[in-house]
Amino acid sequence: MTRPLAPTSTLELLRAAAELCGPTAQRLFAVLAEDYPASLERRPGQLLRAARATAADLDGLLAAAGVASTDDLRMLAAREIGLRLAEPDLRFTSRDPQSEPRERSALRRMITTEEDNLRRTLADLQANGALEVAAAALLRARRRWVLGDLKSAGYASLLTSDLTSSMRDVFLVQPATGAAVNAISDAHADDVLVVFSFRNYSRLTVDVAREFHVLGASVIALTDSYTSPVCSFASHVLAVDTRSESPHHSPTAVVAAAHVLAALAAAGAKGAARRSRRRTEVFRSLGSYGLGRPASDAAPDTLGDADGATGLPATAADAPGTPPDAPDSPSSPGDRYPPAQ
């Protein structure tokens, strides 16, 4: 720890910014100035608790002072005093009864693990072309089914929402035996099933993937290993790194891979941009956009023009002379199949 110093230009800049930002910012400044610059060696969370402030309050104070982050503030103060300030001790105490008593775990290590998972997963999926091939399978399919059980039910719901915004005939299979039976009964060999399967593997997910495989439909599996049970029935495997410092598998790379898959499918879907704009108009007419910035200020649709993008291999839907998607109409898994394109 360093000894408190006389006011510096940086400290005076923070003081002026706090006066502009109000009482909460002034409490934050008081905590920072109490033993400045040693206060900068504390974790940001400790500063917030001491000042009864929020992260938004701290960001506002730093922005008003023209500083990007607490790391930049610490480097600026270090240059002024000519001393090296230690980085905050990013440790916390685990209260898990299964862990060692008062085990100390590093927050920085957890964040680094998540960053590594994301970087490694997306780099591998790009290098082996799995994402592009899986997206092309989604485009060719007559119907798209999505299934996730246990924790993976949330992933399935997110992917279904993304796919629905750009293409029709997307169905979320609820993780229940009755819903699975209905989906298998209504499925077609030209359909595709996207499943999420991670440790501990859901028997229901594996069984449904097997039935779709037997039917002749394509199965896209987002899973944590090429040796997971669902891979035996998958036409396309998207291996995702789910290592975590916590007892639960990491969702970071899973959500990112699913999002990229949906974005690639949207980029190659004919009429995806038109469908997205129409959905936005309907939501606005129903009064669903009532909070946040006005819908007119929203960023324009970037999925591509009405004829779709050409970033994916050509599919039947992209062939010249193929008519655009028909207007969406209410459909259910029991409807008759549309004519082949």
The reported pLDDT for the residue numbered 166 is 79
- For residue 77, name the pLDDT band (cuts at 50, 70, 90): confident
CB 217 within 8 Å of CB 193: yes
b/e for 19-52, b at 16 or more Cβ within 10 A?
Answer: eebeebbbbbbebbbebbbebbbbbbeebbebbe
State pLDDT tens for residues 242-292. 988 777 888 999 999 999 999 998 887 666 566 667 766 666 777 666 555
Cis upstream peptide for 200 (omega within 30°):
yes
The mean pLDDT of 209-231, rounded to a whole number, is: 94
CB 149 within 8 Å of CB 202: yes
Instruction: Work out whether strand 192-197 and strand 218-223 pair parallel, antiparallel, or are unpaired.
Output: parallel
State pLDDT tens for residues 87-129. 665 555 555 555 444 444 567 778 888 999 999 999 999 888 8
CB 154 within 8 Å of CB 148: yes
The reported pLDDT for the residue numbered 108 is 73
The reported pLDDT for the residue numbered 337 is 38
Instruction: Work out whether strand 104-106 and strand 91-93 pair parallel, antiparallel, or are unpaired.
Output: antiparallel
State pLDDT tens for residues 162-218. 898 878 889 999 999 999 999 999 999 999 999 999 988 999 999 999 999 999 999
% of the chain exceeding 90 in pLDDT:
38
CB 6 within 8 Å of CB 53: no
DSSP 297-314: GSPPP-S--TT---SS--
The reported pLDDT for the residue numbered 259 is 94
Which of 31 and 322 is assigned the larger pLDDT? Answer: 31
The reported pLDDT for the residue numbered 74 is 82
Spatial distance between the Cα atoms of 134 and 154, rounded to a whole number of angstroms: 20
Residue 177 burial by Cβ neighbours in a 10 Å radius (0-12, 13-18, 19+):
exposed
Spatial distance between the Cα atoms of 323 and 14, rounded to a whole number of angstroms: 62
Asked whether the predicted pLDDT for residue 233 surpasses 90, the reply is: yes
> What's the token pair of residue 141?
């399919």
The mean pLDDT of 309-319, rounded to a whole number, is: 40
> What's the token pair of residue 196?
């999420």
